[in-house]
Amino acid sequence: MKITEVRIHLMGEDRLKAFASVTFDDAFVVRNMKIVEGTNGVFLCMPSRKLPDGTHKDMVHPINQEFREYLEENILKAYEEELKNQSVGKTQEESSGYNKDAQ
């Protein structure tokens, strides 16, 4: 299974940094993966639902460590790229005097 697209939606909250949607083989998408800030840096959380007892259960998850690493590596790389693009965009706005909120 090959990742063919990763979309990142930055959140900018204290712990929740972004949501990710991943398309596999141009045929199957998994939405609502979370990129979360932990004590050892950012990590990936699978989409989950809250159970009546208050715990959470993953709706999807990798079956083996090799695929988990492949998934995390590609999603976190896309996240870092999105952060870089956002930073470049802000720098260009500041240097040009552009203020999107003023419109």
Could you read off the pLDDT of 22-72 as tens digits, one per residue? 999 999 999 999 999 999 999 999 999 999 999 999 999 999 999 999 999
Helix (H, G, I), strand (E, B) or coil at 7: strand
- The answer to whether residue 36 is domain-embedded is yes
C-alpha 24/C-alpha 49 separation (Å) is: 22
90 neighbors 16 (Cβ within 8 angstroms): no
- The answer to whether residue 38 is domain-embedded is yes
Would the pLDDT of 103 be above 50? no
What's the pLDDT tens digit per position in 26-40? 999 999 999 999 999
69 neighbors 76 (Cβ within 8 angstroms): no
Q: What is the pLDDT of residue 93?
A: 54
Q: pTM of the predicted model, to two decimals?
A: 0.79
What residues are paired with 32 via a beta bridge?
none
The CATH number of whichever domain residue 38 belongs to comes to 3.30.1120.40
- The answer to whether residue 101 is domain-embedded is no
The number of domains in the chain is 1
Q: Where are the alpha helices (DSSP H) in the chain?
A: 65-96
Structural domain range at position 61:
3-49+56-95
Nearest C-alpha neighbor of 23 from the set 81, 77, 63, 71: 71
